[in-house]
Chain A
């Protein structure tokens, strides 16, 4: 992380806990850049997270108020904070399993209520911290520690899910699209209402090595190859789109 962002890091915190090649460190920096560009007051920001690798992005690193909660419950805790102190900017940073599987009910209800929560879902498509088990976001056919023959089920499209539930800003970007992602996080910070970004973040340790993408740069290359913008996707056939991940703003 560049030195300029160090002022947002809690004193006493040293190296990040993430594995080599993990995308969460990139996301950690991009969120801070968006905060820096908008000159947000960290004293008025509360970062809420659940359990898992992604929950460690804000806690303990960010030098604002941080609330590291229970698995799946970040949005429920955040709802209490925001409703009682609406003047605070409440951002939820958590993982795909945390927000959409064990916390899936809270996700759709928070979106339905359109409470002003800024949700950044660090989506590595797997349960990383617990050893690489299949998630509700794991692509069909992917190998995980609990689907040795390949995931038999379809994953959630989280953007479609929260949009249908009523979220008023919905976007998807990969950490390989840093400029677009910073701009999207800035929009989230300025948006009033429930906002959600599905951020694709590579997990070579748990996902890559089981799916022929052992080396960190291979996972990054794979994301760069697969992520296309919504506009680019329009002319493509279903076959062309099979392997692709459509990124962009879907609702704003």
Chain B
């Protein structure tokens, strides 16, 4: 399987857009030609732009009756051959969980953008939060894997949505873009290149769509209407798709493979960025909008001579465990600022020997630089 270079359907150059608008452009550039969605703040601008753009590029748009229907239509369209997506926020993301499990188990490529708001429940619909990080990994029942990316800028709403499609097609897995309200509604410059690299799912006539001996663990995926007589089911199935609901070996093998194909390709999937970590004594681990604030503080403290650095998680799932372990060899103390009650901080603790200090804020506002710098200064004095 190889990638190809596609001409970008949006004029190359610099554009001033919101994060949500940029995400829609990233999807179009990736080759997304099907969108089904349901209105929800703060993600609706993605749907509105897709409604316009898909008409322009000859794709299919439909506003469904709810979020369950939206993700289900996306999965149906994906089996009909489409690169397909939906976007939502907390309450809608909750409703989609069963179908996300279906997509993971039937190995259906699809992209879901969650523009996170302050939960739980209806919470603060127009305010920011990042409380869906654990839900992204564990939201549906049973053992499965997804890929989840975390954009921190308008540029990355474009880049990571595009990458989400590529990863989704390459590994036949639902891929989530875990944005937040602050990034979705932020406006800044977006640079569009003339061409982008896109990946397409591999296809093989007469192949077994749910089993492979290939090293990457990803079977070829045929589509409807090509005489392949596809047999797709969310029940446990063998390599050809036949239901095997009481065969322990088939179940163990299938569950094992859909997890392994992501975990063993982790090094190709996971992306991180590090800042000043070569000589840092203390550090922050941050993602999403909070990583912007965190980097701003780190830069300021560096000017004051404080040896602080930052690890930014561009990928949240599979979790960048190696990078966190590596960081543990360099620093003794890490601050994890998050707009939730420590969802990523707890995950960090699994992989490190250093002291992890969570900075949690769940008031519907972004974390302010002072809040982070105050804590970092305190650590710097102590160490």
Residues of A participating in the B interface, judged by any CB pair closer than 8 Å: 10, 12, 42-44, 46, 48, 59-60, 63-70, 73, 76-81, 83-85, 87-88, 105-106, 109
Could you jot down 17 A-B contacts, CB within 8 Å?
A46-B80, A48-B76, A60-B231, A60-B233, A65-B224, A70-B102, A73-B99, A76-B69, A80-B36, A80-B75, A81-B224, A83-B73, A84-B77, A85-B81, A87-B225, A88-B225, A109-B64
Measured CB to CB, the nearest residue on chain B to A85 is: B80
Knowing A73-B72, A83-B62 touch, does A44 contact B241 (C-beta < 8 A)? Answer: no
The answer to whether B40 has its CB under 8 Å from any CB of chain A is no
| Contact, CB under 8 Å: A65 / B65 | no
> Which chain A residues lie closer than 8 Å to B68 at the CB level?
73, 76
Known: A65-B230, A79-B73, A80-B74. A88 touches B80 (CB 8 A): yes
What secondary structure prevails in chain A residues at the interface with B? mixed
Task: List chain B residues, Cβ under 8 A from A63.
Answer: 229
Q: Which residue from A64, A66, A68, A77 sits with its C-beta under 8 Å from B76?
A: A77
Contact assessment for A84 and B72 in the assembled complex, using a CB-CB cutoff below 8 Å: no
| Smallest beta-carbon distance B76→chain A, Å | 3
Contacts of A60 in B (CB 8 A): 231, 233, 241-243
Q: Tell whether B98 is near chain A: CB-to-CB under 8 Å.
A: yes
| A79-B64 contact in complex given A70-B98, A73-B69, C-beta closer than 8 Å | yes
B254 partner residues in chain A, CB cutoff 8 A: none
Complex Cα distance, B7 from A217, in Å, reads 66
Given contacts A76-B72, A80-B77, 5 further A-B contacts (CB under 8 A): A46-B80, A68-B232, A69-B102, A73-B72, A87-B225
- Say whether A46 contacts B69, CB under 8 Å: no
Q: Is the CB of A59 within 8 A of B233?
A: yes
Question: Interface of chain B, helix or strand or loop or mixed?
Answer: mixed
Supposing A106-B65, A109-B69 touch, asked if A69 and B79 sit within 8 A by C-beta, the answer is no
Tell me which residues across on chain A come within 8 A of B77, comparing CB atoms.
Answer: 80-81, 83-84
Please determine whether B241 and A65 come into contact, CB atoms closer than 8 angstroms: no
Query: Would you call A80 and B73 a contact (CB within 8 A)?
Result: yes
A200 to B231, CA, bound (A): 27
Q: Which residues of B sit under 8 angstroms from A10, Cβ to Cβ?
A: 229, 231
Q: Which residue of B lies closest to A68 (CB)?
A: B233
Question: A106, B62: Cβ atoms under 8 Å?
Answer: no
- Complex-state Cα separation, A210 to B50, whole angstroms: 52
Q: Known contacts A12-B242, A69-B234, A70-B72; is A84 also within 8 Å of B80 by CB?
A: yes
A63 CA / B62 CA spacing, docked (Å): 30
Q: Shortest Cβ distance from B187 into chain A, in angstroms?
A: 32
Interface residue from A48, A59, A65, A76 paired with B225 (Cβ < 8 Å): A65
Residues of A within 8 A of B24 (CB): none
**Which B residues are in CB contact (< 8 Å) with A85?**
80-81, 224-225
Chain B residue nearest to A41 (CB atoms) is B227
